[in-house]
């Protein structure tokens, strides 16, 4: 497979979440997390292609499309520090806030974004967190947060693209998705909580053009949903360990029409 090589033992991030607020909304993510499961696969697949030219392979929206109200930007100041081995003090994932977020107990469907193997299952303070490695692009994985599973899902299970895996846990927190890329190049961060070479990329960078066009039809564009690296570096956030001391001065959300 072009752009990857297989070496070494599988090692992955330690998992952590924290709590911070946006001027319009509080996204609740406690720091403490339960112990996670042990990954089942014995080899690591590294991506060796150009990080600025990623494969576009996600064809289905992981959240029920019509239910999406707004989405946080990549490198935003929403939630907490979620940065990879190459960047510092920023949220390198996307929060998806449903429409009618204040209404409790609304069943919003959550789908598997691609065919993949479940590498971690974590019971969170609100729902279940799944780490799913892509079958066809095994250097890439999706991490889905705060899912109310519709059935038992175990370590090593294979999930199909577009398979219903549950619903969003409810209005106590937003849904969120992170895309992990494993690379063989160590980043500059001296961190004990992340594997060397971990990169986070935007969910929108790895979705197909046909799926992204559906978001464009609702007023979302690539240059608006991603804060460029240089722009974030020029307007840095302030972190206290994993917590943001404030949301920053840049716009953090995109409202979906």
Q: What is the pLDDT of residue 254?
A: 97
**Which residue(s) pair with 240 in the sheet?**
243
Residue 106 has a pLDDT of 77
Contact 177, 96 (CB under 8 A): yes
Q: Where do the structural domains in the chain lie, given as residue ranges?
A: 4-255
**Residue listed under structure tokens 């927190």:** 173
CA gap 77, 92 in Å, rounded? 9
How high is the pLDDT of residue 72?
Answer: 99
Whose tokens are 């409202």? That residue is 255
Q: Which helix (H) or strand (E) holds 223?
A: helix 222-225
Tokens coding 43:
């080899």
Identify the CATH number of the domain defined by range 4-255.
2.70.70.10
Asked if 158 and 151 touch (Cβ cutoff 8 Å), the reply is no
Please give the chain's pLDDT, 257 residues, in tens.
444 433 332 333 333 333 333 333 446 555 433 333 334 333 678 999 999 999 999 999 999 999 999 999 999 999 999 999 999 999 999 999 999 887 776 799 999 999 999 999 999 999 999 999 999 999 999 999 999 999 999 999 999 999 999 999 999 999 999 999 999 988 888 655 556 789 999 999 999 999 999 999 999 999 999 999 999 999 999 999 999 999 999 999 999 98
Task: Give the residues across from 112 on adjacent strands.
Answer: none
> Using CA atoms, how far apart are residues 2 and 53, in angstroms rounded to an integer?
13
Q: Which two tokens stand for residue 180?
A: 């992990």
Q: Is residue 204 a contact partner of residue 60, using CB atoms and an 8 Å limit?
A: no
Contact 171, 24 (CB under 8 A): no
Token duo for residue 223: 């240059």
d(CA 167, CA 247): 28
Place of tokens 């294979």: 158
SS3 6: strand
Retrieve residue 98's tokens: 């449903």
77 vs 22: CA distance, rounded Å = 8
Euclidean distance between CA atoms 14 and 36, whole angstroms: 9
């Amino acid at each position: 497979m072009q752009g990857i090589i297989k070496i070494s033992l599988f090692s992955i991030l330690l998992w952590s979440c924290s709590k911070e607020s946006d001027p319009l909304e509080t996204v609740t993510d406690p720091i403490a997390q339960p112990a996670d499961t042990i990954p089942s696969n014995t080899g690591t697949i590294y991506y060796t292609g150009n990080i600025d030219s990623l494969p576009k392979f996600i064809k289905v929206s992981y959240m029920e499309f019509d239910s999406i109200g707004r989405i946080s930007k990549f490198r935003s100041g929403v939630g907490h520090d979620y940065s990879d081995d190459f960047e510092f003090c920023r949220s390198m994932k996307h929060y998806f806030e449903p429409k009618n977020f204040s209404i409790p107990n609304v069943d919003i469907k959550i789908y598997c974004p691609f065919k993949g193997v479940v590498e971690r299952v974590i019971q969170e303070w609100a729902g279940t967190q799944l780490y799913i490695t892509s079958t066809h692009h095994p250097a890439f994985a999706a991490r889905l947060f705060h899912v109310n599973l519709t059935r038992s899902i175990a370590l090593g299970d294979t999930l199909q693209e577009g398979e219903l895996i549950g619903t969003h846990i409810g209005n106590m927190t937003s849904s969120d998705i992170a895309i992990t890329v494993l690379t063989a190049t160590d980043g500059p961060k001296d961190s004990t909580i992340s594997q060397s070479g971990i990169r986070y990329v935007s969910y929108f960078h790895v979705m197909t053009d046909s799926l992204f066009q559906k978001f464009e039809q609702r007023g979302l564009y690539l240059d608006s949903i991603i804060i460029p690296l240089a722009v974030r570096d020029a307007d840095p956030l302030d972190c206290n360990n994993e917590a943001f001391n404030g949301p920053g001065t840049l716009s953090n959300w995109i409202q979906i029409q």
